Each structure stands twice: as structure tokens, then as C-alpha cells.
Structure 1
């Protein structure tokens, strides 16, 4: 069973194509990466896959709920709340997992939502598989580093027990060791059964992510030299010197 299936997906506006001809199939427990240069439409594509943005071409099928991690300008930490307060607030908004849905929600998310009154931070971090995370529960949203913002976004997304988690620009503002840690963390998150799609300029070497490259130039390269029509007409002298071909 696939959580997301996109066929020739595209978004076209008055200014032209944002992205086009995207084919993508993501199942539970898989980590996929959408890569490309700035302006290639990665964010718009991720939001469309999560059901938060329209598309104009192709087909998109998604099974179950989707949750957003960090998406700049769309889904970001509150600068006035600490990490722990973000988690407590999200758990209070979500409430306990209804009994009828407990078979559909990862066990870790159920446990985190049961523990929100006791130790919400520890339960949420453990539930996402980020026990080695460089995240301080007392740091305010405005003071988080780019990697910490990504981690907090992923933890918050996992609390609702979605089928799909998406995160944008996961390599922005980080150095090589931070990127390596984050891609490994994304793999662990997918290993819990989530379908995970992250966007980045590139994927770190050694990552298990299945890569989908978008936004590359599609200009056709001409492999033959085409001469003007006049150049194809031989001069009279040259025609006279052309040997006859007998058949």
C-alpha cells in the first residue's frame, strides 16, 4: 500500500511552470527526498503532497492524514514559546487518541499523548526516536538554530500520528555533521512506519533517502549542425568536379 501516489503532477501559474511531470510513490517506512536548486518548486510540491496547496496538472492520491514539519513562512515555531511549551501546547490541542483510532496511530504517538501531563518533552522526543537530539527544552523558538527548528517540527508532526510527514529545506543553514545527523534522524523516523518526504538542495552521502530531482534545465541540446539553405547549394565549379556515381 502506498501513502502518496503522484503521476505527472504539475503546477502552472500565469508566470509559467512552478514544477511539472513529477512521478512519485511513497509507502510506509520510506524516506524520500525532493532535491533541486532554489526556485525549483520544492516547497510548493511538498505542500501539494501534504494536501496544503493546489496542483493544476496530473493526479495525486494520498491515504490518511499528513502533518507538516518545518516549512519556512508556513509552519514555523512560535518565537515566544520554549521547546517544551510547543510540545505541551500541541499535546493539549490534540488530546488523547480516541480508542477507535489507537490501532491506526503509532504506539509512540499514543504514549506521548498519554504522558502530556507528566513529562511531555521526554515522551515526545522518545516517541519520535530523537533521544540524541541537540534540542534544549528551555530554548525559545526565536533562538533555535536551523537544525533545531527542523527537529522540533518533526517531533510536533509525529505527535498526531499521521501517515505522512513532510519537512522543507532540511539542509538550510546547517554544516556537514548537522546534515548527516538530520538525514539519519529522518531515516529513523521513517523506520517507525511513517512515510517521510523531505526537500533539500542535495542529499548527504550515505543517506537511505530515495531521491527525486526537480527543477533541472530541460532545454533540448542540438546535436547536429544545421547550415543555412544557401550553403547546401554547391557552386557550379564544384558540381562539375563531382564524380559520377554509377548504379
Structure 2
């Protein structure tokens, strides 16, 4: 899969304080383009807040940070355009009632609506369908997910996926936007040792192809750029943010759903 050059990520004394205390503070590190960056720490130590801050979804209150050379929080809008979220609870979760195909179709529609050039929108429908299918297939291949191996193929519901399969699907959906930075929360949650090794091998391969990977975990691999978050200060939280600190949600699953099915040529 052709991947754009990854985005360098840096932080110096970065911190975020909310109504209930510090989510994280004093974070300093540097990750080169195409690096595998692991945010390691126990649940409740500010891991998710740090991930969302570095991808332009939350506003820091101390220190400084840049993603792809774009200073945060001033250039948060631009950072969101180059950074894609994999699975993040409460922000970019898969819909358990949707099938694999429905998730892919919806993402293809959103890509066409919000990322396509005016010229691309004027192309013949057959060409648009072929382009969308090619992008889906490339993303699935990069994420290591072969729908043919699932119980019902692309018609398999998310609720019937294994944890590692769901992770691969979330990564594939994020890769359809060809991001410079891919962010993944709870990378090793509820995975066996063998599955955990597979998950890290997937993220290593994406980084090797040029996409910077930012992954939250409880135990980081030795070859990653490791960013450790400490124990949360009394009253702080890893998941609570002011309503205006999180990026507005994309259009709902139902909005444009029929159009997505038609545009991508799926049954």
C-alpha cells in the first residue's frame, strides 16, 4: 500500500489538566517520521488523553507539542487532517451491529464526501466505485484482514469478530484516509500473548511502510519509542474531557448509508 511520509511527533513538558486534576503532565519525547511510538502505562494514567492531544482532538494546558511540524493546539485542525484514529473507546468505536462491509462502505462514502477533490466527484460512477474498492482492498491488505477468512465474509457482524480481527478492521478503516499518523488505543487489551505479538507486528509493518504509529498499551515492545505515563493524580481521569476539547463526530452511521452502498458497488 502506498503510504505518505510519516509525521514526526514531539512533546516537551506536555500536560493536560481538567476539572478533576491532571490527566497527564511532564511528557517529553521525540518520534521521527515512520516511528512506532508506544504510550505505555496503567489504565487511568492519561494514556488516551495523551493520544487524543497528539492527534489534535484535545487541547493541552501545559508544555508544547508538534505533529508533522504543526504546533499544537494552534494547528489542531491541520493535525486532524493528517492523523487518523483507529479504535478509541467513546470516540471512534466500531458499531457492533454493522457488518464489515457496512463499515467499509460508510468509510468510503465519508472519504468521498470530505476528502475528495471537486474533479474526483465528477468522474463516472464506475470509476469512482473502482477507486473506492481499490482503496478498501489496499487498506485491508495493509491491516492484515482477509474478509474471506471471516465466518460470513464481509457480511460478518462486528459483534462476531475476534478482538484481533476487530483491531485489524479499525486499522483498515483508518488507513483508507492514507494518514501520515495512525493512532491506536488499547492496543494489547484482551489479547493473548500470541495475539499481542501479531498486533505489534502489524503496527511495525505499517511504520516500516512510512506511516507513523502512535499506540497506547500496557506493555510496550523494546523496539518502540516508549512514552510512559505515570499514576494518575488524585481525581484525574484518562477518559474525561471538556465537551469542546474533542473533535466533532463524523456524520452518523445512518446518514448517507444508502448512498455509500451504491457508490461502492456492494450488495
Coarse TM-score class (shorter-chain normalised): 0.7 to 0.9
- Of 225, 230, 235, the residue aligned with 1:215 is 230
Q: Is the 8 A contact 1:170 1:199 kept in 2?
A: yes
Change (3 A) 1:170 1:113: farther
- Tell me if 1:58 matches 2:75: no
SS class of match (1:47):
helix
Match of 1:4 in 2: 9
Following TM superposition, the consecutive aligned residue runs of length 4 or more in structure 1 with deviations greater than 3 angstroms are 96-100, 112-115, 118-123, 131-136
Show the 5 A alignment for 1:33-72.
33-63=38-68, 65-72=82-89
Change (3 A) 1:113 1:46: farther
CA distance in 2, matches of 1:2, 1:124: 19
Report the TM-score when normalising by structure 1: 0.73
Change (3 A) 1:120 1:61: closer
Show the 5 A alignment for 1:66-85.
66-85=83-102
CA distance in 2, matches of 1:75, 1:170: 14
CA distance in 2, matches of 1:152, 1:199: 17
Match of 2:111 in 1: 94
Question: Which deviates more from structure 2 when the two are superposed, residues 165-174 or residues 208-217?
Answer: 208-217
Q: How large is the Cα RMSD of the aligned pairs? A: 2.9
The CA deviation at 1:208 is 2.9
The CA deviation at 1:83 is 1.1
Q: Is the 8 A contact 1:87 1:124 kept in 2?
A: no
Change (3 A) 1:213 1:89: same
SS class of match (1:147):
helix
CA distance in 2, matches of 1:113, 1:29: 30
Report the TM-score when normalising by structure 2: 0.68
- Tell me if 1:172 matches 2:189: yes
Greater Rg by CA: 1
SS class of match (2:26):
strand
Match of 2:238 in 1: none
Show the 5 A alignment for 1:13-162.
13-63=18-68, 65-95=82-112, 98=117, 115-116=131-132, 118=133, 121-126=136-141, 128-130=142-144, 136-162=153-179
5+ long unaligned stretches in structure 2: 1-5, 69-78, 120-127, 234-267
CA distance in 2, matches of 1:181, 1:172: 13
CA distance in 2, matches of 1:23, 1:83: 38
Change (3 A) 1:78 1:132: closer
Matched residue pairs, number?
204
- Of 179, 191, 209, the residue aligned with 2:208 is 191
Match of 1:221 in 2: none
Q: Is the 8 A contact 2:24 2:232 kept in 1?
A: no
SS class of match (2:155):
coil
Show the 5 A alignment for 1:225-236.
none
- Tell me if 1:201 matches 2:207: no
5+ long unaligned stretches in structure 1: 101-111, 219-247
SS class of match (1:125):
helix
